[in-house]
Amino acid sequence: MLPAPDVWNAPCRHIRGPPSPPCARWLRRPALAPEHRTLLLDRHVEEIPMAEIAKRRGLPRSTAYKHHARALAALVELAQLAREGEPR
């Protein structure tokens, strides 16, 4: 399987001048840390067992689960921030 393109970290496609307003808003949005994003994708999209993730990262399994819990908490926080920013 080919890796998905990293659209979250892709640069804006502006050649000259400042970014357009929609792009500027996108750049100011909070995002998941790369390590959180990678862990969540490995676990929930690629369906890699936590034991394998821990082994690949050179961590004890309990530490990998703690990192997973932190990543989920960060994702929930981002979802709440996005929900609060939606127009009503």
Question: Strand, coil or helix: what is 84?
Answer: helix
Mean pLDDT of 24-44: 82
pLDDT in tens, 50-79: 999 999 999 999 999 999 999 999 999 998
- The reported pLDDT for the residue numbered 8 is 47
d(CA 34, CA 59) in angstroms, rounded, equals 17
Question: What are the sequence ranges of the domains in the chain?
Answer: 32-85
d(CA 58, CA 19) in angstroms, rounded, equals 40
Burial code of 36-56, b = ≥16 C-beta within 10 A, e = fewer? bbebbebbeeeeeebeebbee
Mean pLDDT of 32-41: 94
Total-model pTM: 0.64
